[in-house]
């Protein structure tokens, strides 16, 4: 792999961080009844499922979960040579009047979240939407902030933050790359699966 890579979080610290976010959600909302977690493809999806499991242990209710593919709402489609591979959006509950917690792995420019908000609004009219991100790496290009942040990682713009998850990557860890690894390079092209 070209360039230097540093592991900034391991499986234990990731588990503690996710548990803290679950407690914060409960602290703010008292109960998880009526909450729905929507994961943004790809890595927001397992994160949302884990959070739902943790909330179930803490509160005795498992919030509903959904999956959002934002590719049809991207603002850079006319700049991308290969249109990203589409996956299904699966929101198995009524969005009108619902309380939505969006979940994603990394908050960077904020454009993905902008697209996710547009995508959700097309599906219905939630009462409100909050945002959980596992890593906030800065460098926002639109005025968007997260309500719950796992870890703030100061980065240079050229660096790449990679959140790896057991369910998809075989291990839980957060890596900071000086140069983007090949998977993240293809993610910039929107070609990730």
Partner 1 sequence: MRLRSRHLLGIAGLEPEEIRLILDTAESFAEVGTREIKKVPTLRGKTVVNFFVEPSTRTRSSFELAEKRLSADAINFTAASSSFLKGETLLDTARNLEALVPDFIVIRHSEAGAPHFLARRTGCSIINAGDGAHEHPTQALLDAYTIRRRKPFEGLKVAIVGDILHSRVARSNVLLLSKMGSEVVVCGPPTLLPPGIERLGCRATHQLDEALERADVVMALRLQLERMSGGYLPSVREYARLFGLTAERLQRATPDAIVMHPGPLNRGVEIAGEVADGARSVILEQVTNGVAVRMAVLYLLAGEIEREAAA
Which parts of this chain interact with partner 1 (CB under 8 A)?
69, 72-73, 77-83, 85-90, 118, 122-124, 191
Compare residues 5 and 192 and give the one whose CB is closer to partner 1: 192
Q: Which is nearer to partner 1, 27 or 79 (CB)?
A: 79
Q: How far is the CB of 47 from partner 1 (least distance, A)?
A: 21
Residue closer to partner 1 (CB basis): 53 or 124: 124
Q: How far is the CB of 174 from partner 1 (least distance, A)?
A: 28
Contacts of 189 (CB under 8 A, 6+ apart): 80, 81, 82, 84
Query: Closest separation between CB of residue 85 and partner 1, Å?
Result: 6
CB nearer to partner 1: give 72 or 185.
Answer: 72
Pick the closer one to partner 1 by CB: 151 or 183.
183
DSSP the chain: --S-EEEEE-HHHHHHHHHHHHHHHHHHHS--TTEEEEEETTTHHHHHHHHHHHHHHHHS-PPEEEEE--GGG-S-GGG-SSPPPP---B--S--TT-EEEEEEEEESSSHHHHHHHHHHHHH---SEEEEEEEEE----SSS---SEEEEE----TT-EEEEE-HHHHSS-EEEEESS--HHHHHHHTT---
CB of 23 to partner 1, least distance (A): 34
CB of 82 to partner 1, least distance (A): 4
């Amino acid at each position: 792999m070209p360039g230097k890579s540093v592991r900034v979080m391991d499986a234990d610290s990731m588990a503690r961080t996710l548990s803290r976010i679950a407690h914060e959600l409960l602290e703010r909302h008292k109960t998880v009844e009526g909450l729905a977690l929507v994961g943004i493809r790809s890595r927001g999806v397992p994160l949302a499922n884990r959070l739902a499991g943790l909330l179930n242990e803490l509160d005795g209710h498992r919030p509903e979960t959904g999956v959002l593919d934002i590719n049809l709402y991207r603002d850079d489609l006319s700049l991308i040579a290969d249109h990203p591979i589409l996956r299904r959006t699966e929101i198995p509950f009524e969005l009108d009047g619902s309380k939505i917690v969006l979940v994603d792995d990394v908050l960077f420019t904020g454009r993905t979240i902008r697209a996710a908000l547009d995508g959700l609004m097309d599906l219905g009219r939630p009462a409100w939407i909050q945002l959980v991100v596992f890593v906030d790496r800065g460098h926002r290009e639109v005025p968007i902030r997260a309500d719950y942040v796992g870890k703030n990682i100061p980065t240079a713009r050229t660096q790449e933050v990679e959140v790896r998850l057991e369910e998809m990557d075989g291990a839980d860890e957060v890596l900071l790359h000086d140069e983007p690894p090949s998977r993240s390079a293809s993610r910039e092209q929107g070609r990730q699966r």
